[in-house]
């Protein structure tokens, strides 16, 4: 008697295209600028008209200004995400419209957040980092993530480095870090 064999196959035909653009510039010895933009479009080939492909994020990107000094680095950046309208959700697939603003038809609104990160190296043993994310308290959700970002977040990180053993010019480091974050 022969065993029944089954397999999962991807029989649908689809097309996908998009672009990714990056730019970075050193404005001066201490200041730099960078930006990244992403856009993707995808459809399943179906009659009578093409249907949205799953997992296609809306337009998104990051733009930042950076300051680099001897012991200090700082970055001010914005994250942005375009809206994804219901007509671009695959309601038969895995687009997770249940997590969107319209859990029946799918809809994700556009959003922009402003953020700041910094690091100061006090000496070769101590480094302090501080960050503020979502300055302005924008309620947002990255596409296809199951959780929202509802508040401003503060990060404080202290790192202690010290040499433990030197063997033939190889330094083994031991480090301790304290990190805390909170919504305020």
pLDDT tens, position by position, 27-85? 999 999 999 999 999 998 887 888 888 888 889 999 999 999 999 999 999 999 888 88
Whole-angstrom Cα distance, residue 150 to residue 141? 8
pLDDT at 150: 61
pTM: 0.72
Does residue 2 form part of some domain? no
Confidence of residue 163 (pLDDT cuts 50, 70, 90): low
Residue with tokens 């700082």: 74
What is the domain range of residue 64? Answer: 14-183
Whole-angstrom Cα distance, residue 40 to residue 82? 12
SS (H, E, C) the chain: CCCCCCCCCCCCCEEEEEEEEEEEEECCCCEEEEEEEEEEEEEECCCCCCEECCCCCCCEEEEEEEEECCCEEEEEEEEEECCECHHHCCCCCCCCHHHCCCCCCCCECCEEEEEEEEEEECCCCEEEEEEEEEECCCCECCCCCCCCECCCEEEEEEEEEEEEEEECCEEEEEEEEEEEEEEC
Does residue 27 form part of some domain? yes
User: What is the number of residues in the chain?
Assistant: 184
Does residue 128 form part of some domain? yes
Does residue 112 form part of some domain? yes
Does residue 9 form part of some domain? no
Q: How many domains does the chain have?
A: 1
Does residue 35 form part of some domain? yes
The structure tokens listed for 62 are 């990051």
Arithmetic mean of pLDDT, 87-93 = 82
Does residue 26 form part of some domain? yes
Lowest-confidence pick of 20-24, 44-48, 67-71, 118-122: 44-48
Closest CA to 114 of 174, 63, 179: 63
Does residue 75 form part of some domain? yes
């Amino acid at each position: 008697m022969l065993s029944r064999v089954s397999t999962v196959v991807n029989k649908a035909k689809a097309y996908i295209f998009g672009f990714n653009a990056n730019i970075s510039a050193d404005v001066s010895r201490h200041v730099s600028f960078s930006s990244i933009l992403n856009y993707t479009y995808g459809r399943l080939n179906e009659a009578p008209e093409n249907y949205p492909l799953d997992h296609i994020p809306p337009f998104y990107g990051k733009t930042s200004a950076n300051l680099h000094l001897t012991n200090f680095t700082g970055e001010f950046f914005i994250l942005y995400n375009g809206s994804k309208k219901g007509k671009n959700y695959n309601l038969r697939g895995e687009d997770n419209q249940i997590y969107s603003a319209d859990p029946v038809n799918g809809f994700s609104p556009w959003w922009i957040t402003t953020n700041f990160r910094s690091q100061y190296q006090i000496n070769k043993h101590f480094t302090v980092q501080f960050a503020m994310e979502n300055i302005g308290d924008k309620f947002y959700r990255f596409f296809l993530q199951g959780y929202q970002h509802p508040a401003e977040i503060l990060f404080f990180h202290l790192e202690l480095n010290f040499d433990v053993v030197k063997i033939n010019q190889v330094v083994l480091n031991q480090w301790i870090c304290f990190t805390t974050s909170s919504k305020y």
